[in-house]
Structure 1
Amino acid sequence: MTTDAHSAPSRRVAIPATNPRVYEALVALQAAAADGVDAELAELIKIRASQLNGCAYCLHMHVSDAVALGVSDSKLHMVAVWREAPHFFTAQEMAVLEFTEAVTRLGDRGVPDDVYARAAEHFDTHTMGQLLATVIMINTWNRIAVTSRYAAGGDERRARAGRLNRP
């Protein structure tokens, strides 16, 4: 069955229920990606990618997670317009947001060398790999949530896991 963007889907896949091995593999990959990444930076990555991908479910979840970590409301309100509000962010955070945008929007122009270099100024090679994996994972979760039409505020992850840094 098909639906338009404004009606309820009648038969959408729910990966955790229909494909539990795939879901558990993604959860394990998410945990590996998060290892050693600053939790606040990870949430900024997840928020920005979710904004770009139009994923209300993940955006709601990760703004809530960021609030729980103590990220200020002022900073969270400025993530979408970080270039116009640089005084809310550190140089490291801005480099990560720019890197997140480039990786999320690969089709636009790939990841330009200057964008990669600005992020790499703040992190060693291992951490750059972890940040890249974090961006990749949130893009994966965004695609699952948007395709499956998960409802914002219906945080199934918390019901299953009961903790932060899970998809």
Structure 2
Amino acid sequence: MTTHERTDEAGTAHAHEHAPRMNLAQQVPDIYRAVLNLEMATRKGMDPVLLELVKIRASQLNHCAFCLDMHTKDALAGGESVQRIVQLSAWEESRHFYTEKEIAAIELTEAVTVLTDGFVPDEVYGKAAKHFEEKELAQLIAVIATINVWNRFAVTTRMVPGHYTPGKHA
């Protein structure tokens, strides 16, 4: 057993929670509130199912355990199926679980989140533009950008997953 593990009554080893590096909201409350306001604006009029799929997929790509905990719980609370959440990390092999519009949003999420080529391919953008009206597409881009901000805050400050309860936070 390492120093990062504990055992339960059955003798099963479990890793200890890590400590967060800092509480960003306490250190820069104006910035936190500004991003929270951005978050609230991006949600207006958006399909909540699509919203959570996008947030989960970006959080998977960014390895953000805190946001994965939050958004999978929010998705489940909103009626999303466990199967669609689980299959999201392998959506290319599980396309039949999602609508064409959801696939377009997931592809755009990946392109905006992983900018290794330095741009969002025209094909990906064009597919999204076929499924979303221009204002809705602009809002989707803002949703993707915002979850990426939250992911970067949470990953960098090592926010601890597992304590989020749907309905308690914005």
TM-score band, normalised by shorter chain: 0.7 to 0.9
Which residue number corresponds to residue 143 of structure 1? Answer: 152
Match of 1:82 in 2: 91
> Which protein is richer in helix relative to its size?
1
Q: Which amino acid in structure 1 is aligned with residue 151 of structure 2?
A: N
Q: Which residue of 2 aligns with 1:42?
A: 51
Gaps of 5+ in 1: 1-5
Match of 2:61 in 1: 52
Equivalent residue, structure 1, for 2:110: 101
Rate the CA distance shift 1:73–1:111 in 2: closer, same or farther, 3 A. Answer: same
2:40 maps to 1:31: yes
1:119 paired to 2:128: yes
Q: 2: CA distance between counterparts of 1:129 and 1:21?
A: 25
Counterpart among 158, 162, 165 of residue 168 in structure 2: 162
> Alignment identity in percent?
44
Displacement of 1:100 in angstroms is 0.1
Q: Find the residue that maps to 1:154 and give its secondary structure.
A: coil
Alignment partner of 1:73 is 2:82? yes
Q: Residues 121-155 of structure 1: CA distance to partner in whole angstroms, max 9, x if unpaired? A: 11111001110000001000000000110111133
Count matched residues. Answer: 155
More moved, 102-111 vs 115-124: 102-111
Counterpart-to-counterpart distance in 2, 1:79 and 1:122 = 19
Q: TM-score, normalised by structure 2?
A: 0.85
How far is 1:107 from its partner?
A: 2.1
- Cα-Cα RMSD: 1.9
Letter in 2 for 1:54: H
Structure-1 residue corresponding to 2:71: 62
Q: TM-score normalized by structure 1?
A: 0.87
1:13 corresponds to 2:22: yes
Alpha-carbon distance in 2 for matches of 1:127, 1:93: 13
Match of 1:153 in 2: 162
Of the two, which has the highest radius of gyration? 2
Deviation at 1:13, TM superposition (A): 2.9
Deviation per residue, 1:49-90 (Å, 9 max, x gap): 000000000001100000011111111110000010111000
Distance 1:7 1:38, change over 3 A: closer
